[in-house]
Amino acid sequence: MKKHTHLGKVIVLFMALCLLGTLFLAGSMSGETVTSVGLSPSSQTVSAGSTFTVDIVVDPQVPIAIAGVQANMSFDHELLSANSVTEGTLLSSSCTTFFMPGTKDNTAGTITGMACAVLGNCTASSPGTFARITFTAKTSGGTSQISLSNVKVLDTDVTAVPISVTGGSVTVQVEPTPTPTPGPGISITISEGWNFIAGPDRTMSVTDALASISGKYLWITTCDPSESPAYKTYVPSNTSDSNLTQMDRLHGYWIFMTQGEILTYPE
């Protein structure tokens, strides 16, 4: 009788383990326990020659608590150059950590061996930044894909947890070279359609500055992020809604011409 009772307990325990395994598989398949690893921002546009950052972010899903992360990164070496890798606050905000910035190779366009692990009995379960990479955009324009590989997220048992990994992109924008600023009374030739021109040598009203091509342009606009609004436009056919009133040598301007013409700023 006791033998049958013991066998019954074993069968019940086996059934319970099978049920837990089924629930675990269902949770993994539904994505409820998958930790996401990605980039922030996932895409951005930067100016040639500028410095910017890309964060590798980790979002642990309940009930997962993590104790370590590792990753490699690749990018277009013709467009970007990696400057530095620094630790984020994913683990360091609540734990003592050991961080490895990895090895940068700007010839191959890779960063390999980035890793971070907690020291002692400590874990993290809130979203955060694993590593921050600082880049400099080179002088060529284009879009660089940024990919993550060999990504592992470890729990307290040093076991890799299920993850989903997404990359991103950076577009390097090269500003057009404006037509050299003409001095007073000096003429420049502009073509039909869009032209990028420098402003006059001194500040003057739009109508005075463009008097020599009056009636031959439809639109002129400029952008200055330090001002509000940043974009200012003058439309000769709709002056009441135009907010660009003056031109000067500190700004460049896009102008749409109905025909080719010679622009001469007043003396």
The DSSP-derived string for 76-111 is -TTTEEEEEEEE-STTTTTS-EEEE--EEETTTTEE
pLDDT, mean of residues 16-24: 32
Reported as a single tens digit per residue, the pLDDT across 57-106 is 999 987 888 999 999 999 999 999 999 999 999 999 989 999 999 999 99
User: Which residues 6+ apart lie within 8 Å of 14 measured at CB?
Assistant: none
| Domain range 32-173, CATH architecture | Sandwich (2.60)
DSSP string, 132-177: EEEEEE-SS-EEEEEEEEEEEEEETTS-BPPEEE--EEEEEEPPPP
Sorted by where each begins, the domain ranges of the chain are 32-173, 187-264
> What single-letter DSSP state applies at residue 227?
S
For tokens 């890309």, the residue is 54
Q: Please state, in angstroms and as integers, the Cα–Cα distance from residue 57 to each residue in 89, 133, 168, following that order.
A: 10, 11, 12
What gap in Å lies between CA 67 and CA 94, rounded to an integer? 11
Reported as a single tens digit per residue, the pLDDT across 128-182 is 999 999 999 999 999 999 999 999 999 988 889 999 999 999 999 987 766 555 5
Determine phi and psi for 2, rounding to 5 degrees: -65, -35
177 against 191, higher pLDDT: 191
pLDDT score for 32: 54
What gap in Å lies between CA 246 and CA 232, rounded to an integer? 10
Instruction: Please say if the pLDDT value at position 10 is more than 50.
Output: no
> What does the block give as tokens for 242?
């135009």
pLDDT score for 120: 87
pLDDT score for 20: 31
Instruction: Please say if the pLDDT value at position 11 is more than 50.
Output: no
Residue in 224, 223, 220, 222 with CA at minimum distance from that of residue 238? 220
